[in-house]
Amino acid sequence: MTRAHDIIRIVRDAYGGADGPLPLHAPIFAGNELAYVQATIESTFVSSVGAYVDQFERMLVEITGAAHVIATTNGTTALQMALLLAGVEPGDLVITQSLSFVATANAIAHASATPAFVDVEMTTLGMSPDALRDFFECDCERVAGGVRHRASGRRVAACVPMHAFGFPCRIDEIARLCAQWRVALVEDAAEALGSWRGARHCGTAGLLGTLSFNGNKVCTTGGGGAILTHDALIAKRAKHLTTTAKIPHRWRFEHNAIGYNFRLPNLNAALGCAQLEQLDAFLAFKRALAQRYCSAFDSAGIRFLVEPPDTRANYWLCALLLDDEAERDACLDITNDAGVMTRPVWEPLHSLPMFAQSPCGPLTVTHDVSRRLINIPSGVRAMEPT
């Protein structure tokens, strides 16, 4: 029996012997979703103004510990707006990791900036503080008004680490480096709702953080995102700019800046409120599933990635690290043919044509992980793992 067949067996056993197709991560609507959406339709407030938008934001404040939350149309618009609020300007560089979903770099480009890629570390799959330190010390210099990238002459305006698959990166060390170099820290916590490093929820260590509520996330609003911040003035500005920069008035249409139509519709927020009510149950299932996987894959001699020390991960997508690219590709073929959905990690962003000219540090771990990692079914099901 090949390791691909071991993977199929272990995944199906972890889901109670399920013999049908097993998706990577599908949403579960087992709470008040229908009732809240119906109530929203009956209220006629289905767009970006409504009681459920306010409730959704309040619930996220309570869950994450952020002082302020502004709900947006998706995680990409949340990150784009967060970068603008952090002071990123056209032509700036924004440091991020190449091992990430393309939306991270797209949001930087939408802010008219250019990504600069540094390596990740194997233990977290997130930005390596050591790689970030090397980039600052070897490739940048302090100048009046900030930090400049020596080779390009561009200002380094922000740093965007991403908490891959819900594994918290070493954000405290990254935050200290950003503070030392006076570069704004904006966390991409799109995949990390319910993930913690120590006593801090992912997305709350920097000036701003962002979440995603796409259909494949732990909780979904269908589409949706959120900006997190502890700064009241930034929060006020975020809400204003994402609501077309309209000056509040009973009937006048006055706008005092170039704004964005980025506010989450009430209809989506209603779905999100019902989902957040079930967050604890979703997380409990996913952690139990991860424990089951960990034990079984260890016995089979297959490396299952576990949460880093001093963290509590949401295990959004469980991941295996195989021996090489050939084994990865063979496993992808066999498992998907058998109805067990598996996927490789994203193509490294620096290898995509639109970002191929972006500055890069050494990316040794990024290249290694991108050849060997696969994700396996990780969604919540209407039964407990055995």
The ranges assigned to domains in the chain are 3-28+279-376, 33-276
| Per-residue pLDDT band at 18 (split at 50, 70, 90) | confident
CATH architecture type of domain 33-276: 3-Layer(aba) Sandwich (3.40)
Instruction: Inform me whether the pLDDT recorded for 386 exceeds 70.
Output: no
Q: How confident is the model at residue 382 (pLDDT cuts 50, 70, 90)?
A: low
At residue 373, φ and ψ (nearest 5 deg) are: -90, 140
Q: Please determine, for residue 282, whether its predicted confidence score (pLDDT) is greater than 90.
A: yes
Long-range CB contact pairs, 15-21, < 8 A, 24+? 15/289, 15/377, 15/381, 15/383, 15/385, 16/381, 16/383, 16/384, 16/385, 16/386, 17/386, 18/381, 20/339, 21/339, 21/340, 21/341
- Decide if 275 contacts 219 (C-beta within 8 A): yes
**Domain 3-28+279-376: homologous superfamily in CATH:** Aspartate Aminotransferase, domain 1 (3.90.1150.10)
Structure tokens at 355: 């970002």
Q: b vs e for 98-123, b when ≥16 Cβ sit within 10 Å of the residue's Cβ?
A: bbbbebbbbbbbbbebbbbbbbbbeb
Reported as a pLDDT band with limits 50, 70 and 90, residue 49 is confident
Is the confidence at residue 135, as pLDDT, over 70? Answer: yes
Distance between CA atoms of 317 and 216, rounded to whole angstroms?
Answer: 10
pLDDT given for residue 1 in this prediction: 55
Q: What is the mean pLDDT of residues 65-82?
A: 98
Does the structure show a pLDDT above 70 at 27?
yes
Q: In this predicted structure, what is the pLDDT of residue 353?
A: 98
Q: What are phi and psi of 283, to 5 degrees?
A: -65, -40
Q: Which residues contact 77 (CB under 8 A, 6 or more apart)?
A: 107, 225, 242, 260, 262
**pLDDT for position 2:** 87
Instruction: Give 37-59 as a DSSP string.
Output: HHHHHHH---SS-SHHHHHHHHH
**Is the per-residue pLDDT at 139 higher than 90?**
yes
CA atoms within 13 A on the CB side of 166: 26
Asked whether the beta carbons of 303 and 319 are under 8 A apart, the reply is: no
User: Per the structure block, which two tokens stand in for 182?
Assistant: 């006076």
The model's confidence at residue 312, banded by pLDDT at 50, 70 and 90, is very high
For the chain, give the mean pLDDT.
Answer: 96
208 is written with which tokens?
Answer: 């701003």
Residues 6+ apart with CB under 8 A from 315: 165, 166, 286, 287, 289, 290, 307, 378
Reported as a single tens digit per residue, the pLDDT across 200-252 is 999 999 999 999 999 999 999 999 999 999 999 999 999 999 999 999 999 99
